[in-house]
Chains A and B, each alone.
Chain A
Amino acid sequence: MPPGMGGRSDKLFFYALLPFAAVTVALFLLLFKVLVGNSLPIFLREGFGFIESSVWRPSETNPQAEYYGMLAPILGTFYSSIVALLLALPASISLTILIDEYAPHGLRGHLVNMVEIMAGLPTVLYGLWGAYILAPALKSHVMQPLNTYLGMIPLFSCTPTTPSTILTAGVVLAIMVTPFMTSIIREAYESVPLIYREAALSIGAARYEYVGIMMSIIKPAVLASILLGFGRAAGETIAVSMTIGNSFSISPCLFKPGYTISSLIADQFGNAGFYHYMTYALYGAGFLLLLIGLALNTLGLYLLVAWRRRLEAR
Chain B
Amino acid sequence: MRGIMSLTVLAIIVLAGFYEAGVLLSTGSEGETIVIRGAGSSFLQPQLEAWIQGFMRYDGKIIVEYQSVGSGAGQKQFFQGLADFAGSDPPLSHDDWEKYRGKVLQLPVILGAVAVVYNIPDIPKSIHLNLTGEILAGIYKGTINYWDDPKIKSINPGIADKLPHREIIAVHRSDASGTTQIFTTFLRKSAPSIWPKDLVGKTIDWPVDKTGRGVGGKGNPGVTATILSTPYSIGYVELAYALEGNLGLAAIRNKDGVFVLPSPRTIKAAARHALESGLMPSSPEDDFSGELNAIIYAGGSDSYPITAFSHIIIWAKYNSEAKAEALRLFIQWIYTEGLNYIVEGYVAVPPEVARLGLQASSLMEG
Q: What residues of chain A have their CB less than 8 Å away from a CB belonging to chain B? A: 9, 12-13, 16, 55-61, 65, 131-132, 135-136, 158-159, 161-164, 241-242, 245-249, 251, 253, 256-257, 259, 263, 266-268, 270-274
Contact = CB atoms under 8 A, between A and B. Distances in A.
A274 B214 contact: no
Contacts, number: 127
Interface string B1-35: 10110010000000000000000000000000000
Interface string B199-241: 0011111100111111111100010011001101100000000
A13 B6 CA distance: 11
A248 B212 CA distance: 9
Contact of B205 (A13, A55, A158, A263): A55
Interface of B: 1, 3-4, 7, 69-73, 75-76, 93, 95, 167, 169, 174-177, 198, 201-206, 209-218, 222, 225-226, 229-230, 232-233
User: B interface, by DSSP: helix, strand, loop or mixed?
Assistant: mixed
Contact of A247 (B175, B214, B230): B214
A274 B202 contact: yes
A270 B229 CA distance: 26
B4 A271 contact: no
B244 to A, nearest CB: 16
Contacts of A61: 93, 95
B4 A13 contact: yes
Contacts of A16: 3-4, 7
B214 to A, nearest CB: 5
Nearest to B7: A16
B167 A161 contact: yes
B209 A248 contact: yes
28 contacts: A12-B4, A13-B4, A13-B7, A16-B3, A16-B4, A16-B7, A57-B205, A58-B203, A59-B201, A60-B202, A131-B229, A132-B225, A132-B229, A136-B229, A159-B167, A162-B169, A164-B215, A246-B216, A247-B206, A248-B210, A266-B218, A267-B218, A268-B203, A270-B70, A270-B175, A273-B72, A273-B76, A274-B93
B202 A58 contact: yes
Given A57-B198, A267-B175, A268-B176, A162 B215 contact: yes
Contacts of B209: 247-249, 257
A270 B203 contact: no
A60 B214 contact: no
A12 B4 CA distance: 8
Contacts of B218: 241-242, 246, 266-267
B161 to A, nearest CB: 23
Given A270-B73, A271-B71, A271-B177, A161 B198 contact: no
